[in-house]
């Protein structure tokens, strides 16, 4: 599934200083991944966001599952509609109807009769572009939207085998720099690793798994992600057979909890050293920069328990799985990520202002929602500058023909035959 590692070209004039599992701080710009989640009138359009519900029988969302959202963006004379679903749900079908009359919704709201359709393979997002004029929709009309789809809830490691990106961008913060970056201390992990995009995006607890290689701190790295239960290059680890035990550790051993043998509370350093011992033939347990406080007794206890109890460990729903991040000439790391579980196939509808039943559309659950800010900005617009504008120039109140409030001929303003 993985083909190649694309090396990110770093345009830095300054010299990068490397240490084993520790680097100098380089500040990265903050990323903004927020959705617009309200109706927002804009210069050229508006945005409407509705929840995508699965299994909401009788239009009761308490019966359903929120699987994502559908976003409509009105720009000029086009409506852009995007479905976004959240894992473990993925899209296999999307059907869209757009019109200016509820009575025009196809009989029984049959998705197969909707004009816009897509069949996809386990996608998290699908988009449509709708030419409003082709749908007989003009400025001043209320736009009605029925957004239907089919999702599948992926289960277990198939999520990662199906959806892990070919390339992943991420940055690493060493635990000694947590306080400077607003990360709570005492540290709960050796690294905090921030993945910049994709379904792995966000900050994650991270661990060093190779003491022989350096890693560059707080600089965007480019690499490949693998599931620790899937296929990965054979030479990544000296002892890959112990990865289930490592997964057992990240799910079982908690920083601050008392050790079973009465050796005091577990620390981040205990967990990190145990991971090195499990995966490397000759780990350097005293890497430059250190691991903070640690006890050999606690480390040995974690390793022994992991091998005796966790050798065949497989995460269950909502437990954690180790995802391996590999970047050229950088230390291999792992991040902790939820082991997602879904279900079977589900029908979804975008929530809306009008139910099918109450409006005589169909005797089944589902909704139609409206976009009521179509004032236009071009041909056939109410406020634009093109032909047949209601606020245009000739025959209008702007710069277009056949307007109602214009300053030209046949307008309602100052021209000939004005009213």
Helix (H, G, I), strand (E, B) or coil at 193: strand
Are 179 and 294 part of one and the same domain?
Answer: yes
- What was the pLDDT predicted at 380? 39
Domain with residue 84: its CATH number is 2.60.40
Q: Is residue 204, in this structure, part of any structural domain at all?
A: yes
Cα gap 394→397, rounded to integer Å: 8
Are 146 and 169 part of one and the same domain?
Answer: no
Q: Is residue 35, in this structure, part of any structural domain at all?
A: no
Residues in a beta bridge with 16? none
Residue 272's domain spans which residues? 159-338
217 touches 24 (CB < 8 A): yes
265: exposed, middle or buried (C-beta count within 10 Å: 0-12, 13-18, 19+)? middle
Q: In 35-77, at which residue ranges do the beta strands (DSSP E only) sit?
A: 40-41, 46-54, 65-75
- Report the run of H or E that residue 245 belongs to, with start and end: helix 243-252
pLDDT in tens, 268-304: 999 999 999 999 999 988 876 789 999 999 999 999 9
Q: Is residue 30, in this structure, part of any structural domain at all?
A: no
Q: Is residue 52, in this structure, part of any structural domain at all?
A: yes
* Structural domain count of the chain: 3
Tokens, residue 402: 């056949």
- Report the run of H or E that residue 207 belongs to, with start and end: strand 202-208
* pLDDT beneath 70: ranges in the chain: 1-45, 156-159, 161-162, 288, 342-343, 376-419
Are 166 and 139 part of one and the same domain?
Answer: no
- Report the run of H or E that residue 134 belongs to, with start and end: none
- What was the pLDDT predicted at 222? 95
Q: Is residue 86, in this structure, part of any structural domain at all?
A: yes
Are 180 and 315 part of one and the same domain?
Answer: yes
Given the structure tokens 């145990």, which residue do they identify?
A: 274
Cα gap 239→367, rounded to integer Å: 54
Q: Is residue 13, in this structure, part of any structural domain at all?
A: no
Q: Is residue 235, in this structure, part of any structural domain at all?
A: yes
Tokens, residue 48: 């409407």
Residues in the chain: 419
Are 202 and 313 part of one and the same domain?
Answer: yes
Are 133 and 206 part of one and the same domain?
Answer: no
Are 302 and 395 part of one and the same domain?
Answer: no
Give the angle subtended at the CA of 202 by the CAs of 164 and 250, to the nearest 5°. Answer: 75
- The pTM for the full model equals 0.58
182: exposed, middle or buried (C-beta count within 10 Å: 0-12, 13-18, 19+)? exposed
Are 193 and 287 part of one and the same domain?
Answer: yes
Given the structure tokens 């090195």, which residue do they identify?
A: 276
Are 147 and 163 part of one and the same domain?
Answer: no
Q: Is residue 306, in this structure, part of any structural domain at all?
A: yes
Are 136 and 194 part of one and the same domain?
Answer: no
Angle between helices 268-279 and 296-309 (to 10 degrees): 50
- What was the pLDDT predicted at 414? 35
Tokens, residue 340: 């997602």
Are 204 and 310 part of one and the same domain?
Answer: yes
Burial 320-357 (b: 16+ CB within 10 A, else e): bbbbbbbbeebbbbbbbbebbbbeeebbbbbbbebbbe
Tokens, residue 18: 């490397």
Are 49 and 144 part of one and the same domain?
Answer: yes
């Amino acid at each position: 599934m993985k083909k190649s590692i694309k090396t990110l070209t770093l345009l830095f004039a300054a010299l990068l200083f490397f240490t084993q599992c520790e680097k100098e701080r380089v500040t990265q710009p903050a990323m903004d991944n927020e959705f617009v989640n309200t109706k927002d009138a804009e210069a050229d359009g508006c945005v409407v966001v509705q929840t995508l519900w699965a299994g909401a029988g009788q239009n009761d969302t308490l019966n359903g599952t929120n699987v994502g959202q559908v976003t409509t963006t009105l720009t000029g004379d086009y409506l852009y509609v995007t479905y976004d679903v959240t894992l473990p749900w993925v899209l296999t079908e999307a059907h869209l109807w757009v019109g200016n009359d509820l009575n025009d919704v196809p009989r029984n709201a049959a998705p197969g009769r909707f004009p816009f359709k897509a069949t996809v393979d386990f996608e998290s997002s699908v988009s449509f572009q709708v030419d409003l004029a082709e749908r007989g929709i003009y400025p001043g009309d209320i736009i009605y939207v029925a957004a239907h789809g089919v999702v599948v809830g992926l289960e277990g490691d198939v999520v990662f085998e199906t959806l892990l990106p070919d390339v992943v961008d991420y940055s690493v913060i060493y635990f000694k720099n947590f306080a400077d970056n607003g990360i709570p201390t005492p540290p709960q992990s050796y690294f905090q690793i921030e993945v910049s995009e994709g379904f792995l995006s966000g900050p994650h607890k991270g661990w060093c798994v190779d003491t022989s290689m350096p890693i560059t701190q707080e600089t965007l790295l480019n690499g490949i992600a693998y599931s620790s239960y899937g296929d990965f290059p054979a030479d990544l680890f000296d002892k890959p057979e112990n990865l289930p035990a490592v997964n057992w550790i990240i799910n079982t051993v908690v920083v601050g909890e008392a050790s079973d043998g009465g050796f005091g509370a577990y620390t981040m350093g205990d967990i990190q050293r145990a991971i090195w011992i499990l995966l490397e033939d000759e780990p350097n347990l005293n890497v430059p920069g250190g691991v903070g406080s640690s006890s050999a007794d606690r480390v040995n206890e974690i390793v022994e328990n992991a091998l005796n109890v966790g050798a065949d460990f497989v995460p269950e729903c909502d437990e954690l799985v180790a995802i391996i991040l590999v970047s050229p000439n950088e230390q291999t790391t792992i991040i902790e990520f939820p082991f997602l579980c879904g279900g079977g196939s589900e029908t979804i509808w975008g929530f809306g202002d009008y139910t099918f039943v109450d409006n005589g559309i169909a005797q089944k659950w589902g909704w139609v929602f409206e976009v009521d800010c179509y004032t236009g900005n071009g041909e056939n617009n109410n406020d634009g500058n093109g032909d047949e504008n209601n606020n245009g120039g000739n025959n209008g109140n702007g710069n277009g023909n056949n307007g109602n409030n214009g300053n030209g001929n046949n307008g309602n303003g100052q021209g000939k035959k004005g009213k």
